[in-house]
Amino acid sequence: MEPIPLLYRRLVDRDFRVLLVIERLMKRYEYVPLEVIERRARLPPTHVAASLYKLNNLKMVKRVTGEYIGYKLTYRGLDMLAINALVRRGALATLSATTLGVGKESDVYTGETPGGEMVIVKFHRAGRTSFHQILRVRTYAPDHYHTWMELAKLAGQREYRALEELHRVGALVPRPIAYNRHVVVAQHVGGVELYRYKAALDPEAMLLKILETLRKAYLEVGIVHADLSEYNVLVVVDEEGEETPYIIDWPQYVEKDHPSAEALLRRDITYITRFFKRRFDVEVEPEKALRYVKGEAETV
């Protein structure tokens, strides 16, 4: 598959218009009929046909034939719409050709804003695990069926809004910059994933900073991360040697009044304290840490 930036540069305005028409009509059709696309795009039929031929070849739409000819959007097409919106908004200027990381439900790239700031660009990809698995582990997934793309868009919206609120109260999270559909643009903090970080200078202080962020999330924002481990903490070391742990991956958060919130918070804290015990021999009792995060104690 061609890199996303090269695919994006292949498209012209009429291609984006056709993609947008299909996206909007997918709430009504599984495959949008060709005649409906032609009518809604307000382009000459030959232009619509040329765009659909290109988009189908680039796997940005999927074509069906039989009783009628119709098209539906693919994730690749959704990517193009989101990138185009972010570029037009002035939130994104360039995007790396290769991924920085690939997860079960997202792809992460680096990029730059028009002002030259390096950013992380995260594409949510609901659908890599089964729908029932999504419902089980993602409490934000609605009870009624949504398409994978709708769930991916919901994940992007939730993550951006969580980062906004967390950053506002001083929690250690990447600063959010923009989002569109299923794509979130945020500050590139750099650093090393905690599970790879072995020569900690002050692991006790680092663990306390993580617990402080969980406390701010719980007491000031009213949410629980709900999937915390050493795999979604990035450690940044400054010139003075101070270690700052940033907590990432927030789309699965739950509100503190959710029936499962306390159990998920206890699990988050247990996972992270056990890791610090195993890796750095830092001993913190999970129950004491839980009381601290919930505001029931002033120290750990």
Which residues are designated catalytic? Answer: 227
- Is the Cβ–Cβ distance between 161 and 206 less than 8 Å? no
Q: With H, G, I as helix, E, B as strand and everything else as coil, classify residue 72.
A: strand
Q: How far apart are CA 216 and CA 59, in angstroms?
A: 43
Strands of the chain (E only): list them: 32-33, 61-64, 70-73, 94-95, 101-102, 106-112, 118-124, 176-180, 183-187, 192-193, 223-224, 233-237, 243-247, 254-255
The owner of tokens 């790396």 is 96
Count of positions (residues) in the chain: 300
Q: With H, G, I as helix, E, B as strand and everything else as coil, classify residue 119.
A: strand
Q: How far apart are CA 142 and CA 131, in angstroms?
A: 11
Q: Which helix (H) or strand (E) holds 77?
A: helix 75-89
